[in-house]
């Protein structure tokens, strides 16, 4: 039981770390300074560990990695959403905000 507690505690720390990053992205509405590869890597790693842990019958890591997979999915979605919101809008003349600045009176 003591050995499993090490696994549970370690996975809890990783889950808290990833969750904090996702929460920060959600709260700020920005993904600045965050690499999409963080979540892509976590998705791939957690998927592999879920399969591996299931095949070994290690329920500590199955459940922990399912949660990490969920957090990584949310993080990737927020990254995508925040990146799309950052793109400049285009106006009818195709110049976006820059075209408006050129037409502004002095």
The CATH number that applies at residue 21 is 1.20.1280.290
Residue 27 lies in a domain: yes
Number of domains in the chain: 1
Q: Residue 36: inside a domain, yes or no?
A: yes
Q: Confidence class of residue 66 from pLDDT cuts 50, 70 and 90?
A: very high
In a domain, 91, yes or no: no
pLDDT at 87: 65
Q: With respect to residue 95, please indicate whether it lies within any of the assigned structural domains.
A: no
Nearest to 61 by CA among 51, 71, 73, 75: 51
Mean pLDDT of the chain: 80
Q: How confident is the model at residue 97 (pLDDT cuts 50, 70, 90)?
A: very low
Q: From 51, 73, 75, select the one nearest 62 (Cα to Cα).
A: 51
């Amino acid at each position: 039981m003591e050995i499993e507690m090490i696994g549970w505690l370690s996975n809890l720390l990783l889950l808290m770390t990833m969750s904090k990053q996702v929460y920060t992205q959600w709260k700020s509405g920005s993904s600045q300074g965050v690499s999409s590869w963080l979540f892509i890597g976590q998705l791939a790693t957690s998927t592999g560990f879920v399969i591996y842990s299931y095949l070994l019958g290690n329920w500590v890591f199955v459940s922990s990695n399912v949660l990490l997979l969920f957090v990584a999915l949310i993080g990737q979605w927020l990254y995508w959403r925040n990146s799309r919101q950052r793109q400049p809008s285009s106006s009818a003349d195709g110049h976006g905000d820059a075209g408006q600045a050129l037409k502004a009176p002095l």
